[in-house]
Amino acid sequence: MTRATPKSFHVKSFGCQMNVYDGTRMTELLAAQGLTEAGQDEADLVVLNTCHIREKATEKVYSDIGRIVKHSVEARGVRPMIAVAGCVAQAEGSEIPLRSKAVDIVVGPQAYHRLPALVADAATGVAALDTDMPTASKFGALPARRVTGASAFLTVQEGCDKFCTYCVVPYTRGAEVSRPWAQVMDEARALVEGGAREITLLGQNVNAWEGEDEAGRTRGLDGLIRALDRLPGLARIRYTTSHPCDMSEALIGAHGDVETLMPFLHLPVQSGSDRILKMMNRSHDSASYLRLIDRVRQARPDIAISGDFIVGFPGETESDFAATLALVETVGHAQAFSFKYSPRPGTPAADMDEQIPADVMEARLQRLQALLNSQQHAFNRATVGRHTRILIEREGRRPGQKLGKTPWLQSAHLATEAPIGSLIDVTIASAGPNSVAVEKI
């Protein structure tokens, strides 16, 4: 069946920050084709940039498709063209249009630069599916970056070779690849020219980034950070997500002496039980993780530590879980994400014995989150009285109010006329569980 060529589009991203980045690049790509951005119910083309990490995330896509089509038909009497992009597209490929007839296009995370051609195919009624992982990177085929706001994401590394036994990412994103130095520096310059004051370097294992600098020397992420530190106009650098095994001495050292590198480290550990870590194929144990945290804190004593945790991995006993709580107590987190284990098709852990009952998982998650929430509140309270700076990132909810971030990634509201992108000297006046209140100095 032929379809009208879409004139407007809407991109909706789920999942991690790398998907948010990809969503931005797809938006830039479609805008460069002359399509205009529209709301979800008004757009001729809706791109769902999906996440496959847990079952819930995947299932959400299918319920979303139904809802979007229904709303669009009710509002405008037309069925939009639907593209499924991202990690579900990669994992389920040609099964998607079989399961949902409303889907016109399926495009994987390494192929979305071909979206315009796929849209043209779909308009002529040709099946439009592309889940290739081409050797030539998509980045060269994407248009230049547009203005982005005060804080921008920049993907520098993609894919994962770690194969944790619970995780789909090595299958959906492919092998670890680092973007070349010059390409990253060019994109960073474009972002700063567009108004970005902060850049967050992204990768599934961003601290595994490796490349050659202008002089042909092999550099790690620390080298890239040091070069970005010298970029005029760039005030803040962050990076995420890191794997403990790729946390080099040089990168730890950068936290000690690169002023623009913010004192925040997201370093997932997943569990505090060595037995479970082994079954997860994490290639670190709890002691090596804690030593790492000590070294980072020696380099940068005020650093805020964040992490990811999975409860209810197959075979997790009450004493394994107690080891996770003990590790959390030792580390003291500024924030963290915690999840119930979700068996994923094709991963080794999905076939392991002793899958944990849902109610046990739920109870453990509640206990862990109670502890992590209290640590987050305690971290926020411990910053009260500090003189620091916030970067104004967007308008606040109330008129005249702006939303900013402290160096430790805490949200801070401030009544100010200062424009987005300003850095303002403040004192942290009081702390809540999820944000801090600040006063202008």
User: By the criterion CB under 6 A, which residues form the site for ligand SAH?
Assistant: 53-54, 160, 166-167, 169, 204-205, 241, 243, 268, 270, 308, 310, 339, 341-342, 344
Contact 237, 202 (CB under 8 A): no
Contacted entry of ligand SF4, ligand SAH, ligand F3S, none for residue 163, CB cut-off 5 to 8 Å set by kind: ligand SF4
Does residue 304 belong to the site contacting ligand F3S (CB under 6 A)? no
| Residue among 155 and 406 whose Cβ is closer to ligand SF4 | 155
| Residue among 23 and 407 whose Cβ is closer to ligand F3S | 23
Does residue 85 belong to the site contacting ligand F3S (CB under 6 A)? no
Could you give the CA distance from residue 333 to residue 302 in angstroms, rounded to a whole number? Answer: 12
Q: How many CB atoms lie within 10 A of CB 1?
A: 6
The least CB distance from residue 53 to ligand SF4, in Å, is 8
Does residue 202 belong to the site contacting ligand F3S (CB under 6 A)? no
Q: Structure tokens of 155?
A: 């993907």
| Residue among 152 and 169 whose Cβ is closer to ligand F3S | 169
| Residue among 154 and 269 whose Cβ is closer to ligand SF4 | 269
DSSP strand pairing (387-395 vs 335-340): unpaired
Q: How far is CA 412 from the centre of its chain?
A: 21
Does residue 16 belong to the site contacting ligand F3S (CB under 6 A)? yes
The contacts of residue 61 (CB under 8 Å, 6+ apart) are 14, 48, 50, 84, 88
Does residue 107 belong to the site contacting ligand F3S (CB under 6 A)? no
Binding span for ligand F3S by CB under 6 A among 166-174, 188-196, 296-304, 374-382: 166-174
| Residue among 286 and 347 whose Cβ is closer to ligand F3S | 347
Residue whose entry in the numeric block shows the structure tokens 């979007």: 68
Contact 388, 407 (CB under 8 A): yes
| Residue among 10 and 243 whose Cβ is closer to ligand SF4 | 243
Burial of 227 (0-12, 13-18, 19+ CB in 10 A): middle
In the stretch 21-60, what mask flags binding to ligand F3S with x, by CB under 6 A? ------------------------------xxx-------
What's the residue count for the chain? Answer: 441
Q: Structure tokens of 43?
A: 């757009």
Q: Which of 186, 280, 171 is nearest to 224 (CA)?
A: 186
The least CB distance from residue 88 to ligand F3S, in Å, is 8
The least CB distance from residue 312 to ligand SF4, in Å, is 16
Could you give the CA distance from residue 294 to residue 276 in angstroms, rounded to a whole number? Answer: 22
The least CB distance from residue 29 to ligand SAH, in Å, is 25
**End-to-end alpha carbon distance in the chain:** 64
3-state secondary structure of 425: strand
The least CB distance from residue 412 to ligand F3S, in Å, is 27
The least CB distance from residue 204 to ligand SAH, in Å, is 4
Biggest alpha carbon–alpha carbon distance for the chain: 65
Helices (H), 133-235: 169-172, 181-193, 221-229
Contacted entry of ligand SF4, ligand F3S, ligand SAH, none for residue 86, CB cut-off 5 to 8 Å set by kind: ligand F3S
* Residue nearest to ligand F3S as judged by C-beta position: 15
The least CB distance from residue 159 to ligand SF4, in Å, is 9
| Residue among 129 and 169 whose Cβ is closer to ligand SAH | 169
Contacted entry of ligand SAH, ligand F3S, ligand SF4, none for residue 229, CB cut-off 5 to 8 Å set by kind: none
Could you give the CA distance from residue 113 to residue 134 in angstroms, rounded to a whole number? Answer: 11
Long-range own/partner contacts, residues 124-131 (CB < 8 A, 24 or more apart):
124/2, 125/1, 125/2, 125/3, 127/97, 128/104, 129/93, 129/94, 129/97, 129/105, 130/106, 131/89, 131/90, 131/93, 131/106, 131/107
The least CB distance from residue 243 to ligand SF4, in Å, is 5
Could you give the CA distance from residue 223 to residue 254 in angstroms, rounded to a whole number? Answer: 9
| Residue among 165 and 383 whose Cβ is closer to ligand SAH | 165
The least CB distance from residue 168 to ligand F3S, in Å, is 6
Omega before 36 within 30 of 0, i.e. cis: no
Contacted entry of ligand SAH, ligand SF4, ligand F3S, none for residue 21, CB cut-off 5 to 8 Å set by kind: none
| Residue among 97 and 203 whose Cβ is closer to ligand SF4 | 203
CA dist 180 → 39, 183, 202 (Å): 35, 5, 14
Residues that bind ligand SF4 (CB under 6 A): 160, 162-164, 167, 169-170, 204-205, 243
Could you give the CA distance from residue 334 to residue 292 in angstroms, rounded to a whole number? Answer: 17
DSSP strand pairing (435-440 vs 423-431): antiparallel
Residues that bind ligand F3S (CB under 6 A): 15-16, 18-19, 51-53, 86-87, 168-169, 172-173
